[in-house]
């Protein structure tokens, strides 16, 4: 009875929120915080020293609140959707901070860089060795930034790894765009020293299509990513 009452209360508050009631929005956030939040995020709390528990809680509530307007009252359980969006935001937040604070060092040539994933492991961008060790840092101090610089620019290979899981969910499985995204996730890109011509490599993987076809698919993927990022910025 208790759980049903909470659900019904939440549904009513959500109806009022979508009608423009700002007080109902505050009340719904409080309800989610008091009754649902810990149950959804407890397994992420105190798991990594670079992520603060209070920040995790805040990210969950932000993710849930951003989903209020998009929750469909006539499809499935809108409250479950809102809680799911909050949890997704927590996962993305944790993934981002772990990646930002984790680096690799090549035991063959000594090169230090951001994580450079290749398949299920990591590979050195300088010599292509796979004898890699990873380490975490707490602060991006001046010394570390000096290590990360390359010809005056910071490496940007970590950007693709920081793409939140939600973007992949916008791509349709079975399409070339989806297949290309999964290849990039696995480490097939222009920065991989083991693949001198990644467009040619992908074309071969796809049964011998032209590199121009691969490039067109890559442009489509970039356009969708840029649109996805713009939508996120507008939501903020």
Q: Catalogue all structural domains in the chain, each as residue range(s) with its CATH number.
A: 2-98 (1.10.1740), 101-158 (2.20.28), 163-235 (no CATH)
81-137 confidence digits (pLDDT tens): 999 999 999 988 888 777 767 778 888 888 777 778 787 788 887 888 888 888 766
Q: How far apart are CA 169 and CA 203, in angstroms?
A: 24
The answer to whether the predicted template modeling score (pTM) of the entire model surpasses 0.75 is: no
SS3 112: strand
Contacts 24+ apart (CB under 8 A), 50-57: 50/97, 50/98, 50/101, 50/136, 50/138, 51/93, 51/94, 51/97, 51/98, 55/93, 56/90, 56/93, 56/94, 57/33
Between CA 169 and CA 173 the distance in angstroms is 9
Mean pLDDT (the chain, rounded) = 78
pLDDT tens digit sequence for 156-203 = 333 334 444 667 788 888 899 888 888 877 777 666 667 778 888 888
């Amino acid at each position: 009875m208790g759980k049903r009452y909470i659900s019904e209360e939440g549904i009513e508050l959500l109806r009022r929120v979508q009608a423009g009631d700002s007080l109902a929005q505050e009340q719904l956030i409080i309800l989610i915080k008091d009754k649902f939040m810990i149950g959804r995020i407890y397994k992420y709390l105190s798991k990594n020293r670079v992520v603060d528990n209070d920040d995790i809680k805040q990210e969950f509530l932000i993710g849930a609140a951003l989903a209020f307007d998009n929750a469909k009252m006539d499809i499935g359980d809108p409250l479950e959707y809102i809680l799911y969006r909050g949890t997704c935001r927590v996962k993305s937040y944790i993934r981002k901070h772990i990646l930002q604070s984790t680096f690799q060092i090549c035991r063959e040539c000594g090169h230090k860089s951001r994580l450079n994933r290749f398949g299920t492991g990591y590979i050195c961008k300088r010599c292509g060795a796979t004898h890699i060790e990873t380490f975490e840092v707490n602060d991006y101090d001046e010394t570390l930034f000096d290590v990360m610089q390359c010809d005056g620019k910071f490496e940007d290979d970590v950007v693709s790894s920081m793409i939140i899981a939600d973007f992949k969910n916008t791509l349709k499985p079975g399409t070339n765009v989806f297949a290309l995204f999964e290849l990039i996730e696995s480490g097939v890109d222009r920065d991989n020293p083991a693949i001198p011509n990644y467009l040619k490599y992908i074309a071969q993987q796809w049964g011998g299509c032209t590199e121009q076809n691969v490039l067109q698919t890559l442009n489509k993927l970039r356009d969708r990513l840029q649109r996805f990022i713009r939508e996120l910025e507008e939501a903020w």
